[in-house]
Amino acid sequence: MVFSRRLLFLFVLFVIIQENASGQKSSTLVFGDSSKILSGKKVVLTGTVVQASDRKSIAGAALFVDGLKYGNSSDANGKYFIALPPGKYRLTVRYLGMAPIQNRIAIYTNAVLNFEMSEKPEALEEIVVRARREDENIKETSGGIAKLNITEIRRLPAFMGEADVIKTLQLLPGINSVGEGSGGFNVRGGRIDQNLILMDGGQIFNSAHALGLLSNFNPDVVEDFTLYKGNVPAQFGGRASSVLDVRTRSGNFDKLKVKGGIGLVSSRLMVEGPLIKDKTSFIVGARTSYSDWILGAVANTDVRKSSASFYDINANITHKFSAKNTLSLSYYRGNDFFRYSNEFGYNYTTQLGSLKWKSILSDRWSSAFTAVLGNYESILYDYNITSARSLTNGIGYYQLKQNFLYTNEEKHAVNIGVEANQYNGNPEIAKPYGENSTTVGKRVEKDRGREFGFYANEEYTISKKFSIAAGLRYSFYQYLGADTVYSYQPGAVRSVATITDTSYYAKDHVIKTYAGFEPRISGRFSLSDESSIKMSYNRMRQYIHLISNSTAPTPIDLWQVSNLYIMPQVADNYSIGYFRNTKDNMFELSGEVFYKTTANLVEYKDFAQLLLNRHLETELLQGKGKAYGIELFAKKNSGGWTGWISYTYLRSFIKVDGAHPEEQVNQGNWYPTNYDKPNTFNVTANHKLGKNARFATNFTYSTGRPTSALVANYLAGSVAVPVYSERNQYRIPDYWRLDVSITINNVFNKIDDNLTFSVYNLLGRRNAYSIYYQQPAGAPVPQGYRLSILGSALPSITYNFSF
């Protein structure tokens, strides 16, 4: 703790240091005649922002008009609008990783001004943690949005040197996980399956590599990502908590580029370039691990006989038919494999193919059509000779989405569209594995469902002080055959013993329908140029659920669509926040309060048997959830030191109060969820060391998650049987960790490269992953143990290059 106090002190000390950024200067551009201006009427400056290298549009470039302290940002097509009184201004365009452009303009009539931005070499770049307009956090309409650029992520210390989207997200307020080695993340007290994770519009059902130590987003191909944790625009739906929208890059239209990294246990390579110059580009990025050489060096024979690996591939081809029409084809495949000695193994694979057609229909209308085909499959292997078997499950899906965007200067941005998703649960198949296996095969068909969403969402800037974002989504869900549906004795506990009838429905027969409106509304009131208050409310419906009765998500968890008995989850999210920037946007400060209720949250009966179960509804319960909390965030965007401090107070509870004792948990009382962590505190800091090096660190602390404790035991024959408390009445010890890294740029003069040394868990803290009980040999009663995944500091070294 002494170390962390010192770190905090240093951070606070350095964040008060200010630096002034300098930009390029140019001569004045004149539009119109100053003698012909009409008094009181504004003129509109419009245009597009593109990359000079490949003419790719830049979304989110920040445009500032000095003197007015006013600006805007480019839209998804790189277009921008600024309305301003006739006069002379200095206009600055910024985007992370690009050299800023500064123009003096004299504007007296509507005019078009396009910008071409050039990349800024990393080594010369000042440390600016900014991927968007400097005052966007106070000027945008909705609160609860986290946006980061991959450049920001690369600057933080990383596990095994691999920059990671989801690990970085967990340093932001309101986002946490149940611990190291667990996949997924929890947003504002929601379950992990309540996060819609999109890669180029396609859903990702398991975002974890190495069971959550890394995620499946390759930093070389990720362009940026946005996490909507508070107010989710109506164009997104299908999950009850948040949306993580990850966009990957399209290739360079101008020249061939190569980028990569070599680490101790994994490496990556990305190649991009034109297929037809200025018309068609490609990008291929791949990562693979090779940790078996480490396993072979471990003394433990079981580990020596083990194997672990992952790989992923991203590929994209983008073709510009014209300046207004672009077609993009993307493919992703990620795979993980584990084998532990002769005992068990895993193999899980995500595949995603998507097609996106973007079209600019007019000055104000644009269209985006997306078609996605995805599949997730996991296989669990049991290698024990007589009981050897493989168990396969997964889910496949199709998605079609048509979105129209209307923009009217800087006042209106309207999204209208329709979306259709079909989910096909892959059958669970157990097969004997190997010639000597004595097990029997089993196959359980899984449910299918189809979800439609119709939406309209408008962001309307009423005045400089007021803006509002209002949207309405209507979601419509069909539970489809072919399926066998069981009827249960009315009023009785659902179990195999209370089945009264069995009905079979043919393929595509609509067995059950759910539907409902999902209003989304948020508003911003600016108290001044530097501060605003934002409020939001939104309702979200979720028709697909992750069925997992384990401490943390596992690759073999089932995705289950809503059916006759498993109702959709319906969440209502409320939030209000205060946002303030100071020192010319050098500092961002915010505080948000949120409250969320969820109906039909899925829970499990004690000892639920979820795999290969034809009557899954007999093991599931549905209850009510509530979560609330406060998020505090302070960020320093520029200067010698950059970074942020965040604190979250968060509570998350669930109540399962069925009609029968068997349908209750903890006697029907509210109890904390598995991911209820009241206090979370994160600090990240980045500092430039001389001309070519950079130091980064992050510190994270959180309250231990809830668990059940052993309160007594008894002997059943020769077995000491533990008696546990009610669910989640105790907590594992608190978690904290300090990571550091140093990056040295320009290792070799001829290419753009760097060498990163990082130490994960520098202080060697033995953070508890879980508390469990085992009876030591000869002991009369079980002993409690705290299991830590990392017991000491974990150093790594990675060489990154690009040319």
Q: Which of residues 373-392 bind other proteins (CB under 8 A)?
A: 380, 382-386
Find the binding residues for other proteins in span 760-779 (CB under 8 A).
766, 768-775, 777-778
Find the binding residues for other proteins in span 638-677 (CB under 8 A).
674
For residue 118, what are its two tokens? 């050039």
Can you tell me the distance from the alpha carbon of 694 to that of 745, in angstroms, rounded to the nearest whole number?
8
Closest by CA position to 739, among listed 1, 99, 161: 161
CA angle 174, 175, 180 (to 5 degrees): 145
Find the binding residues for other proteins in span 315-344 (CB under 8 A).
338, 340, 343-344
State whether residue 160 is helix, strand or coil: helix
Listed ranges 63-71, 79-87, 627-635, 703-711: which one lies at the site for other proteins (CB under 8 A):
703-711
Closest contact distance (angstroms) between CB of 609 and other proteins is 9
Closest contact distance (angstroms) between CB of 733 and other proteins is 8
Nearer to other proteins, 430 or 561 (CB): 430
Determine which residue in the list 782, 795, 799, 802 makes contact with other proteins, applying CB under 8 A.
782
Closest contact distance (angstroms) between CB of 211 and other proteins is 7
Nearer to other proteins, 303 or 499 (CB): 303
Determine which residue in the list 715, 747, 751, 797 makes contact with other proteins, applying CB under 8 A.
715
Per-residue contact flags (x/-) with other proteins for residues 283 to 302, judged by CB under 8 A: --------x--xx--x-x--
Q: Does 687 help bind other proteins (rule: CB under 8 A)?
A: no
Q: Does 443 help bind other proteins (rule: CB under 8 A)?
A: no
Nearer to other proteins, 640 or 782 (CB): 782
Q: Does 205 help bind other proteins (rule: CB under 8 A)?
A: no
Tokens 């007019």 sit at which residue?
362
Closest contact distance (angstroms) between CB of 244 and other proteins is 21
CA angle 251, 255, 258 (to 5 degrees): 65
Is the distance from CB of 131 to CB of 147 less than 8 angstroms?
A: yes
Listed ranges 138-146, 267-275, 476-484, 545-553: which one lies at the site for other proteins (CB under 8 A):
545-553
Determine which residue in the list 267, 613, 708, 802 makes contact with other proteins, applying CB under 8 A.
708
Listed ranges 17-25, 432-440, 580-588, 640-648: which one lies at the site for other proteins (CB under 8 A):
432-440
Per-residue contact flags (x/-) with other proteins for residues 159 to 198, judged by CB under 8 A: ----------------------xx----------------
311 pairs with which residues across the strands? 288, 335
Closest contact distance (angstroms) between CB of 306 and other proteins is 6
Find the binding residues for other proteins in span 477-506 (CB under 8 A).
none
Q: Does 264 help bind other proteins (rule: CB under 8 A)?
A: no
Nearer to other proteins, 385 or 515 (CB): 385
Closest by CA position to 394, among listed 381, 422, 380, 375: 375
Q: Does 211 help bind other proteins (rule: CB under 8 A)?
A: yes
* Burial degree of 606 (CB within 10 A; 0-12, 13-18, 19+): exposed
Strand order of the β-sheet with 195-199 is 145-149, 222-228, 242-248, 195-199, 202-203
Closest contact distance (angstroms) between CB of 178 and other proteins is 8
Of the CA atoms within 13 Å of residue 617, those in its CB half-sphere come to 19
* Burial degree of 565 (CB within 10 A; 0-12, 13-18, 19+): middle
Listed ranges 194-202, 353-361, 401-409, 714-722: which one lies at the site for other proteins (CB under 8 A):
714-722
Count residues binding other proteins (CB under 8 A). 83
Can you tell me the distance from the alpha carbon of 233 to that of 144, in angstroms, rounded to the nearest whole number?
11
The answer for residues whose C-beta is within 8 angstroms of residue 14's C-beta and 6 or more apart is 639, 640, 641, 685, 687
Residue 100's CB is within 10 A of a number of other CB atoms, namely: 18
In the DSSP assignment, the letter for residue 278 is T
Closest contact distance (angstroms) between CB of 766 and other proteins is 5
Listed ranges 405-413, 560-568, 702-710, 739-747: which one lies at the site for other proteins (CB under 8 A):
702-710
Q: Does 476 help bind other proteins (rule: CB under 8 A)?
A: no
Find the binding residues for other proteins in span 587-626 (CB under 8 A).
604, 606-608
Q: Does 71 help bind other proteins (rule: CB under 8 A)?
A: no
Closest by CA position to 646, among listed 131, 148, 212: 148
Closest by CA position to 685, among listed 152, 3, 126: 152
Determine which residue in the list 712, 747, 751, 797 makes contact with other proteins, applying CB under 8 A.
712
Determine which residue in the list 127, 552, 566, 620 makes contact with other proteins, applying CB under 8 A.
552
Nearer to other proteins, 121 or 441 (CB): 441
State whether residue 497 is helix, strand or coil: helix
Determine which residue in the list 714, 748, 751, 797 makes contact with other proteins, applying CB under 8 A.
714
Closest contact distance (angstroms) between CB of 234 and other proteins is 35
Q: Does 306 help bind other proteins (rule: CB under 8 A)?
A: yes
Can you tell me the distance from the alpha carbon of 314 to that of 251, in angstroms, rounded to the nearest whole number?
11
Determine which residue in the list 112, 258, 361, 721 makes contact with other proteins, applying CB under 8 A.
721
Q: Does 780 help bind other proteins (rule: CB under 8 A)?
A: yes
The residue type found at 436 is: N
The answer for residues whose C-beta is within 8 angstroms of residue 2's C-beta and 6 or more apart is none
Find the binding residues for other proteins in span 100-159 (CB under 8 A).
none
* DSSP for 458-489, written as a single string: EEEE-SSSEEEEEEEEEEEEEEESSEEEEEE-
Q: Given phi > 0 = left and psi -120 to 50 = alpha, else beta, which region is 780?
A: alpha
Label residues 705-743 b or e (16+ Cβ within 10 Å = b).
bbbebbeebeeeeeebebebeebbebbbeebbbbbbbbb
Determine which residue in the list 406, 466, 724, 757 makes contact with other proteins, applying CB under 8 A.
724
Closest contact distance (angstroms) between CB of 271 and other proteins is 30
